[in-house]
Each structure stands twice: as C-alpha cells, then as structure tokens.
Structure 1
Amino acid sequence: MKKFDAIVIGAGQAGLPMAGKLARAGKKTLLVEKRRLGGTCINDGCTPTKTLIASARMAHLARNSAALGIEIPGLKVDYETVRARAIAISDRFRASATENAEGTKGLRICYGAAVFLENKVIEVQHAAGRAERFTAPIIVINTGASPLIPDIPGIRGVNYLTSETVLDLQEIPRHLIIAGGGYIGLEYAQLFRRFGAGVTLIEQADRLLPHEDADACAVISEVFQKEGIAVMTGAKVTGFHPYGKSRVQLTLEGERSESRVTGSHVLLAFGRTPQTEGLGLENTGIRRDEEGHVLVDEFLETNVPGVFALGDVKGGPAFTHIAYNDHYLLSRRLLNGKKQSVKERLLSYCMFTDPQMGRVGVTENEAIQAGLDYACAKLPMRNVARAIETGETQGFMKAIVDRKSKKILGASIIGEAGGEIMSILQMAMMGGLTWEQVRYATFAHPLYAESLNNLFMSLKE
C-alpha cells in the first residue's frame, strides 16, 4: 500500500485546485480522476453550454436586428461550426488545467475509479485492469453529480439525451422535447429554439421556476412564448414510448387528463444525482443521506475525522462557484488553520437564459415565509435608460431590504447582464451597505448599474 499525505478523489472545480494547493504546500498528494480533469464544468457543463448560448444569442440578435435598423438577409446557422467552437474552448480549458496539474511538484495524478476499502484506504482500478491501494490521513471527496435518470416506465426503451450526451448531437433536432423545467432545461430549451429546433418544455410544477418569485416566472414564460417555445406546466411524465422509426412519444398526466407529446429527440433534465454509487462508502463509516449525498458538517468534514466532501457530491446548492469556494474554505483550514463555516457565505447564482436571471440572498417569498419586516424595491427594465438604448427591455431589477436596518437582504435581476448587476448588489451586501448608500452612489453613465439609483428611489428614507 502506498502512503500519501492527502488524497483527492475527483478533479472537478474543487478537487483540482485543492490537490494543487496541498501539493504546493509540501504535502505529498494523490489526485484520482476516472474521466477527464476539469469536472462537469469544463467538459460538459458551464464551458460548452455557455459557448453554445453565445452562438444562439448571436442568431437571435441577427433575426431581430431590423428593429435597430440593421437587415441581415440569408441568415444561416452552421451548427457544425457552432459545436466545433464549443468543443475547442472546452479542450483548451481542459488542456490548460491538465498542464498546470501535471507540472505541480508533489502531485501525482492517477486515472481510474477510486473505491474505499475502509475509512482511510482506497483502491484505484486502472483501465488496463491493474489496481493500486493508497492511504492518507486526509481524504477529500469531489466526485460531483451526474444526470438523474428516473425510473419511469419505458425510459430505457428510447434513445434519450442528457445534459452530457446532448453535446454529442451533430445536427439540430427537428423537435426537441425537454422533460424537466429546471435551469438546465430552460437554458437548453432557449438555445436550441434559437438554433431553429422546435422545442416543447415539460414541467411538473404549476409554473416555471417554482422556487423563484412569481414575477420571475412570468418574465421567463413571456420570453419563451414570444420565441415559440411550447411550455407545458402541471404535467407529470408517466411514460416513454418509441414512435415510428426514430421518434419518441411521452405520456403526460395532468390534474384532469392524460396527454401525449411526440418529438424527434427527448432531453432528460430531471436534475442530478450524486456520484457516490460504486465509491465503496459502504465499506466505511461515512454517512450519506437518502439521495446518496455525502453528509458533512458546516466545515465540510464528514463524520469520519479527516475525510471531507466538496461540491455537488455533498448536496446543497449545485453550482461551480460553490464547489470552488468549498475548496477555498477547506484549503485555508488545512493549510492556514483558519476554520470558516459555509454558513457565513452569501449564496448567489445566475441562470443563463436570455435575459439572464441573477439571484442573491432571499427572495420576496422567502422574506414573507420568514416573517421579515421588509420592503421591496422594483424597477422594470423598460424604465432603464441603458436597456432602452440597447433594445433589451425585458425583465426587471428587484431588491428586498430590511425596513429597520436598511440593509439589502436579497436581489433578483432579470435582464441583459443580469448576473453582473446582481453581483454589484452582492458586493454591497457583503460590505454591509444600506440601500440608501447604493441609492446615492455615483455610477458611470449610462450603465445598467446606474439604474440602481432609480431602483431604490421608490423606497422611503
């Protein structure tokens, strides 16, 4: 058995930098990865999808450019080039990450599947069938999550797509059915529609974005309707069926009736499941929840001392930036003795539909449910000067503030650069600024940020 100071399982956006920092700090470190360095984000998540979204937005702007006095005849989507660009950018990011990791002194990269044999012992199965055993006093689990494939009748009998395999499509689907209306489903629905596909989006809840405020749902629903995306809410998928030579049909159950929808392709967007199956955790004392997530405390440590879990595998908000921050918190603890709770960080995220939705802190619904004494400031994008000038008037700026302290509790921004505008309010929240301080701040003209003055103008001082 080979001994290391630390073992990191999974080279995602937490594991990869975590292993590098441990090694550079003088710890003999093993990084185990069964697939490719970079995790979901670089290989089949953020990087390729946001690259595709950029191309889809360009197609959308070109189709609607006449309103700005620019006519573009003969518009054509060259999906082969679109896809090649996304692959090239992912390859570049992964190559950079790989070169950096391979050049780190004290870091060994081992490709293969890791299996726990006991609390601090793992075995790595190599592709050639050879196995090695390793042990270390510190073990970090960063195995991430994968697309959830629910046990629905007929699902194994059709050629379905997931958020990973949909990137392998070499042509635009004629009619794409997306089962599941989460952020992944919404982003794919819009980008493929803008590439020219017919799209039907199915959501079991009674509206899109059920975890957001109703006004956010209304904006996105209106955008999708204008762009010709068929949205079916309150519809539960109860069956999958092959239809004809190459099509697929879904059976849906609503409140009062059953219906069917047929398409050329179906994309499963039911969510993601932690990659703990096959990890051998049953051979350890490491606890998991009912869904398979590794349970950790507020300092990212499992019930087995010295074993930690970072990113999606531990549950909670499944975002790349959360995973990266996990590694930051743990590296400071292990290398600098600075123990910081995940409860202290401010959660923000962005959905990359067009317009974007940037969110930080509490929603208005959450403020109501918590019984907070709050006030709501809201400004439609149609009243934002920069939005009018650029023709990007869909959406709104919205902030929840505490009436007494005047501190900002949360914000929802739907609009062009919505995530960037949200981040300004996030910084204000981190700095403890009041809405009055933002109201009277001097922002450069004419930026979207400048309208944060106007957003808080409606509140009484």
Structure 2
Amino acid sequence: MKTFDAIIIGAGQAGPSLAERLSQAGQTVCVVERKFFGGTCVNTGCMPTKALVASAYAAHLARRGADFGVVTGDVRIDMKAVAARAHKVTTDARSGVENWLRGMKTVTVMTGHARFQNATTLQIGDELISAPKIFLNVGGRASVPPVPGLTDVPYLTNSSIVTLDRVPEHLVILGGSYIGLEFAQMYRRFGAQVTVVEKGAHLVAREDVDISEAIRRILEDEGISVRTGVDINGVSHGGDGITVRLSGSEVTGSDLLVATGRRPNTDDLGLDQTGVKLDARGYIEVGDDLQTSVPGIWAMGDCNGRGAFTHTAFNDFEIIAANLLDGENRKVSDRILGYALYIDPPLGRVGMGEAEAEKAGHRVLVSTRPMTRVGRAVEKGETKGFMKVVVDADSRKILGAAILGTGGDEAIHGVLDMMNAGVTFDVLQWAVPIHPTVSELWPTVLKGLKPA
C-alpha cells in the first residue's frame, strides 16, 4: 500500500489548486483522475460551450452587419470548423491541467477509478492507497429523467453535444434552464430549427417571473419555439425522427438534447464503506467547512450540493486551504452566490431575487431599468433586457440584483462586490462609474428604488 498525507479524487476545478497548496506546504499528495483532467468546466461545460457560444455570436453579428453599415454577404456555418475550434480550446486546457499536476513536487498522479475500502484507504485498479486526509472532487453528470422510451432513442446530453460537428435539422431540447437555453440559442444561430420543452410554468424557474418572461421573448424573437407547463409523456424514434409526446400535443425533431438537470458522481465510490452521508439526491452532505460526516474526508465542487459552478468549486478549494493551511475559519455560508446564464444577451445574477427576498420576510425595495435606456447598449445596438436591483428597506443592504443585457455577466460584479463588502446601497449609489459602460447605470437604478 502507498501512503500519502492527502489524496484528492478528481482533477476538476478545485483539485489541482488544492494539490498545489498542499504540495507547497510540504505534504505528499496523490491525485486520482479516472478520465479527463480539468473536470466538467474544461471538458463538457464552460470552456467548450462558451467557445461554441462565441462562434454563434459571431454568426449572429455577421448577419446583423447591415445594422451597423457593414456589408457581409451570405453568412454560412462550417460546423466542422466550429466544433474543431471548441475541441482545441478543451484539449489545450485539459493538457495544461495534467501537465501542471504532473510537474508539482511531492504530487503523484494516478489514472483510474477510485473506490473506498474504508475511510482512509482507496483502491485504484490493483493498487491500494491511503491517507489521513481525503478530498472528494468527483463532479457530476447529466441527469436523465425516467421518460418512457427515452433509453431507446439516440439522445444527446451536454457531454455529447459539445462534440457534434453538424447542425441538426430540428433540435428538440428537454429542459428550459441554463444548459438547455444556451444550446437552444446557439444552435438556432447555427441554422437549426429549435424547440424547447419545459415542464415548469416558466423558463429558468429559479428566476423572478419578469426575468424568465424576458428570456423567453429574447429566444422567441430569434425563432425558437418554447413550450412551458407541459408534461413529457414519452419518446419514440421513427422514420420522421425523434418524437416527444407532450400533454395535449407532440413535437418531432431530428435530434434530442436532454438538459433536465445534473446528478453527482457519488454512486460508484464505495462511500458505503466510509460512513459518509449522502442526501436524498446523492449529494455528499458537508458542514460549513466542507468536511463530511466522517472526520478527515472533505467534499468539493459539484458533488457536495453547495454550488454547481466552476467559481463555487474554486471557492471550495479556497475555504479548505485557508482553514487547513492558513489558520483561518472560512465558511461556505459566508459565500454570496453569483452566476450567469450565457444566452445573448447574458443574464448576470447575484444574491436573492425579488420573490425569494419577499418569501424570506424582507421588506423589499425594487428598481428596474430597461436596456433601451442604457447608453452603452444603444451604442452597441443590443438593447434587449433590463437591469434590476432588490434592497432591504430596513437595513438598506442590497439583497440581490440581475442584469439581463449586454455585458450583464461582467457588470453584475459591481453589485457583487458591494454585497461582499457588507455596505448599504448608498455606497454604490454615490459611486462615480466610468462612462460609457453598463455598470454606470447602477447608481441611477438605485435612485429609482420603490416598495415592491
């Protein structure tokens, strides 16, 4: 048996950074990766999808050339070149992560699937390894719903669609949230007919209804068919393609993307040999310090159910490293969550929405401003969407904000920083931002606060 000071299972976002910090502290570390280095973000998530989004945006902007006085001619999509570009972004990043890990002193890299024998010992193939500290960074995968007939048809998930080198004639998407909507707009801009099917009453159910409805209008304006509030009763495959039977109707497409959520990769780790507790959905239960129910075992990233984003996974690493190596007392509960939906225009979000704040018992002040009144958006010819801020009337603290508009994924950080600083909205209201930017409108938006 090989022994180490620490073992890290999974080379996703949090793993390599933690390996480096532990190595720098003089500890021996074993990093085990069963497939691709870099995790979801590098291989099937952020990097390939945002590379594809960039190609789709370029095509969309080229078609709009006349709006800017630019003559472009016929715009055609070379999907093989588009896919090759996205694949190169992934493979470059993947090899970069692996080379980084293999170059670390006191770090041993192993490839294969790790399974627990007990709370301190794992088996990889024929080898046993042991350590007093074990960090689970095993990520997640697409969740496939139990729809009758689905397992009998050739469906796509986020993992397989990023390697597609053709444009579907008609892409039907099950799921109207982040993954589904990004691929919906992307492939519509590549030239596919697209239908989005969502069981819930609104797209992106966690958002306020006004944001959800604005997202829907943006997508429908581009020719995407959106069906909400429908049950999926079954799927079949015939000569006309793949047919999805809905409540009261059906839709047939050439290709089917299943984007109905994620599930953690915790079902084949041998966790039953350790005493590590899982919740009802299979996520590893962790405390505020990200330690599991078993001392000496931590869980980071998507598998712990405390955030499903690359940036929250990295923050998990920061919290663990700060507490173990720097003598700090960092907590997950101190984290203010921000995220983005990368349709065009993007949605940047932080903190609570209006409905969530009211449900939590806050006396709420709200202000909105359409992007048609944002100079930077007008100058760019990208005026869809709006800005929104939610404030607690008693504490004068910002509870949350959203920008569905050009640059929203960047401009939201001004509010995120104010919330992390713990100051009242007055500080941001009296800031003097740069003109012309989207961020310069935050003080103006705040001046319009009114009771919800």
Interval containing the TM-score (normalised by the shorter chain): over 0.9
Are residue 177 (structure 1) and residue 177 (structure 2) matched?
no
- Residue of structure 2 in register with 1:60 after alignment: 60
Deviations along 1:221-247, whole A, 9 cap, x unmatched? 1111110000010112221101117x2
Gapped regions of structure 2 (runs ≥ 5) = none
TM-score (norm 1): 0.96
Q: Structure 1: which amino acid aligns with 2:86?
A: A
- Residue of structure 1 in register with 2:128 after alignment: 133
- Residue of structure 2 in register with 1:128 after alignment: none
CA distance in structure 1 between the aligned counterparts of 2:122 and 2:156, rounded to whole angstroms: 33
Q: 1:269 aligns with which of 247, 259, 273?
A: 259
- Residue of structure 2 in register with 1:99 after alignment: 99
Deviations along 1:145-192, whole A, 9 cap, x unmatched? 011122221111100100001122121111000011110001000000
CA distance in structure 1 between the aligned counterparts of 2:162 and 2:422, rounded to whole angstroms: 42
Q: In the TM superposition, what are the counterparts of 1:17-416 in structure 2 within 5 Å? A: 17-125=17-125, 131-244=126-239, 247-253=241-247, 258-416=248-406
Deviations along 1:17-61, whole A, 9 cap, x unmatched? 112211221111000000011001001110000000011011111
6-15 or 56-65, larger mean C-alpha shift: 56-65
Deviation at 1:405, TM superposition (A): 2.8
Q: Structure 2: which amino acid aligns with 1:45?
A: G
82-91 or 42-51, larger mean C-alpha shift: 82-91
CA distance in structure 1 between the aligned counterparts of 2:272 and 2:280, rounded to whole angstroms: 14
CA distance in structure 2 between the aligned counterparts of 1:168 and 1:243, rounded to whole angstroms: 24
2:363/2:393 contact within 8 Å kept = yes
Deviation at 1:337, TM superposition (A): 2.2
Deviation at 1:354, TM superposition (A): 0.6
CA distance in structure 2 between the aligned counterparts of 1:168 and 1:401, rounded to whole angstroms: 43
CA distance in structure 2 between the aligned counterparts of 1:86 and 1:242, rounded to whole angstroms: 30
Report the 3-state secondary structure (helix = DSSP H, G, I; strand = E; otherwise coil) of the residue aligned with 1:164: helix
Provide the aligned length of Structure 1 versus Structure 2: 451
Deviations along 1:356-386, whole A, 9 cap, x unmatched? 1111111100111112112112111111111
Deviation at 1:432, TM superposition (A): 2.5
Gapped regions of structure 1 (runs ≥ 5) = 126-130
92-101 or 7-16, larger mean C-alpha shift: 92-101
2:336/2:351 contact within 8 Å kept = yes
374-383 or 402-411, larger mean C-alpha shift: 402-411
Q: 1:433 aligns with which of 423, 429, 432?
A: 423
Deviation at 1:436, TM superposition (A): 2.3
CA distance in structure 1 between the aligned counterparts of 2:231 and 2:328, rounded to whole angstroms: 47
Moved segments of 4+, more than 3 Å: none
Report the 3-state secondary structure (helix = DSSP H, G, I; strand = E; otherwise coil) of the residue aligned with 2:439: coil
CA distance in structure 2 between the aligned counterparts of 1:224 and 1:171, rounded to whole angstroms: 22
Deviations along 1:265-297, whole A, 9 cap, x unmatched? 000001111101111111221111121111111
1:16/1:37 contact within 8 Å kept = no
Q: Structure 1: which amino acid aligns with 2:213?
A: A
Report the 3-state secondary structure (helix = DSSP H, G, I; strand = E; otherwise coil) of the residue aligned with 1:392: coil
CA distance in structure 2 between the aligned counterparts of 1:456 and 1:115, rounded to whole angstroms: 52
CA distance in structure 2 between the aligned counterparts of 1:439 and 1:424, rounded to whole angstroms: 11
CA distance in structure 1 between the aligned counterparts of 2:273 and 2:369, rounded to whole angstroms: 55
Deviation at 1:453, TM superposition (A): 2.4
CA distance in structure 1 between the aligned counterparts of 2:44 and 2:360, rounded to whole angstroms: 37
CA distance in structure 1 between the aligned counterparts of 2:71 and 2:215, rounded to whole angstroms: 27
Report the 3-state secondary structure (helix = DSSP H, G, I; strand = E; otherwise coil) of the residue aligned with 1:349: strand
CA distance in structure 1 between the aligned counterparts of 2:428 and 2:273, rounded to whole angstroms: 54
TM-score (norm 2): 0.97
Q: 1:448 aligns with which of 438, 447, 450?
A: 438
Deviation at 1:312, TM superposition (A): 0.7
2:347/2:409 contact within 8 Å kept = yes
CA distance in structure 2 between the aligned counterparts of 1:96 and 1:90, rounded to whole angstroms: 10
Deviation at 1:132, TM superposition (A): 0.3
CA distance in structure 1 between the aligned counterparts of 2:162 and 2:347, rounded to whole angstroms: 23
2:390/2:398 contact within 8 Å kept = yes
CA distance in structure 2 between the aligned counterparts of 1:152 and 1:221, rounded to whole angstroms: 25
